[in-house]
Amino acid sequence: MSDSTVIAIRDVSKRFILHKEKSLKERMVNIRNRGYGREDFWALRNVSLDIQAGETIGLIGANGSGKSTLLKVIGGIIQPTNGSVQSRGRLAALLELGAGFHPDLSGRDNVYLNAGILGLSKKQTDKYFDAIVDFSGIEEFIDTQVKFYSSGMYVRLAFAVAVHVDPEILLVDEVLAVGDEPFQRKCMDKIRSFQAEARTIVLVSHSADAIGSTCTRAALLNHGEVLFDGAPDQALRLLRQGFADDAEEASSKAEIAGPTIESAALRRSSGEIATGKSSPGDSFVFDIVIDSRGQELHDWVVGMGIDTPLGQTVYGTNTKLLGVNPAPFTGRFEVSFELPELILGKGQYTLHASLGTVQDGSYFRIPQAARLDFENSRKDSGVITVRSSCAIKPPQLR
């Protein structure tokens, strides 16, 4: 393990054994046949990662991809079937809700219990205790048994302990989603302060905003294997593409009887398909072809939007918002959205297309119907480009 590496994961695999006997009687009858009713499930397969000091790495993937299992292996909660994990420095883990808490002990006792597990002496915990309670915001209930705590109170106290034991490595699972919005902001502020102090953070989250805005790196897992390890926006784009491919495969297998979007394409105002780099001020036309599949469409609405790689909609509109009230229609037809002088910041974007009715809303959607890649020579950042300037001058008295 190099001097800059704080977590070294080498060819880690984790196998769980699934028992499929339906009753104790069935298990006893087949006790001599050890292979009966047992199935191997590999939650992780040959995972290798080096995590450097000061990095914030996000573990992303669909449910069941192995994210939380990998986090538990890193934290030493479970042991790998094959491979090894080495870490350097004090590690604090915020994994499952209430993990490490004894339900019959008070919040005060659990603070000392958790701090002791994480390596702090009673004297050290005394030093941090008031700050832990103040951060958690549950001072009124600190001497109440934690089995009477709500899920939000569990998370508040557990996170407060984890961040006040001076960890060099912080492992955080999806549990932060349980807290209320003000507490989530407080947690994110604390995580950013850890980043400023060059501490290492490993984060599991289904929130694209959290991964994109917080992480410097992301690893995409699928069925226990690492498919991609690199920039968060690229990892999220691959994850969404996988979701879109799954949805497309499912829809292709299903018999769609109702109206649908046959195709969607983005072209430049000059007529050619929009490919390659674009610049702020370029003009586009987004064509969406609808097939009513023999039905007469009434009060139908066609919409479009521009999304960032993190899933944030930069711009969205539809025929109703633009004052277009189409008559009932049967057959195939095309809706064209003109986008003159589009001003977007540097980055990659996707366009989605949707079909619905005024009464029912959108019922058919293509999430990544087209792509845009904007470059920008201006020294600014963000999802839009503003022709801004600044000047320095003496203050004016008013």
372 has pLDDT over 50: yes
Residue 393 within a domain: no
Residue 246 within a domain: no
Q: Are residues 237 and 323 in the same domain?
A: no
Q: Are residues 284 and 359 in the same domain?
A: yes
Rg (CA), the chain: 27
CATH of the domain at 274: 2.70.50.60
- What is the three-class DSSP state of 38? strand
Q: Are residues 231 and 264 in the same domain?
A: no
Which of 248, 177, 181 is CA-nearest to residue 208? 177
Residue 106 confidence class, pLDDT cut points 50, 70, 90: very high
Which of 382, 372, 346 is CA-nearest to residue 237? 372
Q: Are residues 135 and 197 in the same domain?
A: yes
Distance of CA 30 to the CA centre of its chain: 44
Which of 184, 222, 229 is CA-nearest to residue 65? 222
* Domain of 99, in residue numbers: 5-241
249 has pLDDT over 60: no
CB-based contact 125:108 (threshold 8 Å): no
- Residue linked to tokens 């980055």: 347
Q: Are residues 95 and 205 in the same domain?
A: yes
DSSP 121: -
Q: Are residues 264 and 349 in the same domain?
A: yes
- What is the three-class DSSP state of 29? helix
C-alpha–C-alpha distance, residues 272 and 106, integer Å: 68
Q: Are residues 277 and 325 in the same domain?
A: yes
Q: Are residues 285 and 231 in the same domain?
A: no
Across the chain, what does the average pLDDT equal? 84
Predicted TM-score (pTM) of the model is 0.68
Please say which residue of 241, 268, 286 terminates a domain.
241
Residue 389 within a domain: no
255 has pLDDT over 70: no
pLDDT of residue 253: 46
Please say which residue of 241, 274, 293 terminates a domain.
241
C-alpha–C-alpha distance, residues 293 and 271, integer Å: 28
Quote the number of domains for the chain.
2
Residue 390 within a domain: no
Residue 386 within a domain: no
Residue 183 within a domain: yes
Distance of CA 303 to the CA centre of its chain: 26
C-alpha–C-alpha distance, residues 338 and 287, integer Å: 9
Residue 244 confidence class, pLDDT cut points 50, 70, 90: low
Q: Are residues 166 and 213 in the same domain?
A: yes
CATH of the domain at 75: 3.40.50.300
C-alpha–C-alpha distance, residues 226 and 239, integer Å: 12
Residue 366 within a domain: yes
pLDDT tens per residue across span 270-299: 889 988 889 888 999 999 999 988 888 888
pLDDT tens per residue across span 35-72: 556 778 899 999 999 999 999 999 998 888 999 899 99
Q: Are residues 226 and 312 in the same domain?
A: no
pLDDT of residue 91: 87
Which of 255, 335, 244 is CA-nearest to residue 291? 335
195 has pLDDT over 70: yes
C-alpha–C-alpha distance, residues 147 and 216, integer Å: 37
C-alpha–C-alpha distance, residues 53 and 211, integer Å: 18
Residue 254 confidence class, pLDDT cut points 50, 70, 90: very low
Q: Are residues 176 and 124 in the same domain?
A: yes
pLDDT of residue 108: 92
Q: Are residues 140 and 273 in the same domain?
A: no
pLDDT tens per residue across span 203-225: 988 777 778 878 999 999 999 99
pLDDT tens per residue across span 286-339: 999 999 888 888 888 999 999 887 677 889 999 999 998 778 888 888 999 999
pLDDT tens per residue across span 119-160: 788 898 999 899 999 988 889 999 999 889 888 888 888 888
Mean pLDDT of all residues in 340-357: 88
Residue 398 within a domain: no
378 has pLDDT over 80: no
Highest average pLDDT, of 1-10, 29-38, 240-249, comes from 1-10
First-to-last CA distance in the chain?
62
Read out DSSP for 218-251? EEEEETTEEEEEE-HHHHHHHHHHHHHHHHHHHH
